[in-house]
Amino acid sequence: MSEIDNHANEIVIPPEGLSFVTSDGRLVGKLIATSEGGGLALYNSRGKAVVNMSADEDGGGIAVRNNQGELGANVFAVSDGGAIAISNNRGETVAMLHASPEGGILSILKNDEKMIWSALG
């Protein structure tokens, strides 16, 4: 089997990323490669990235945004465990649940992202 045959199912991602568009040219997704991993963005009909997935040397993450592109929820995993962050409609984190070596931590924050309550489970 030749070298070409071995790579027939591969797509090389260009430095500017690989865009996915509809037949009328509307952007619906973009795949990027970085030195630490990669990412995928999915776009709504307004052209806003509303789902972002990423992978790097520490783990991976998924960010979900509202129709204006403001962060609504973020789920990620790193070597210490996982975390979920919930944001208000302005993208400010108002609640977090994350793992620690001692157990789970639940935190509630004010709109200015200052902690008002936290508990270790």
pLDDT one-digit tens code per residue, 57-108: 989 999 999 998 899 999 999 888 999 999 998 889 999 999 988 899 999 9
Host domain of residue 95:
3-120
When divided into structural domains, the chain yields a total of 1
pLDDT one-digit tens code per residue, 22-55: 999 999 999 999 999 999 999 999 999 999 999 9
Q: In angstroms, rounded to a whole number, what is the distance separating the alpha carbons of residues 76 and 85?
A: 9
CATH of the domain at 12: 3.90.930.1
Q: In angstroms, rounded to a whole number, what is the distance separating the alpha carbons of residues 32 and 58?
A: 17
**pTM across the whole model:** 0.83
* pLDDT level of residue 4 (50, 70, 90 thresholds): low
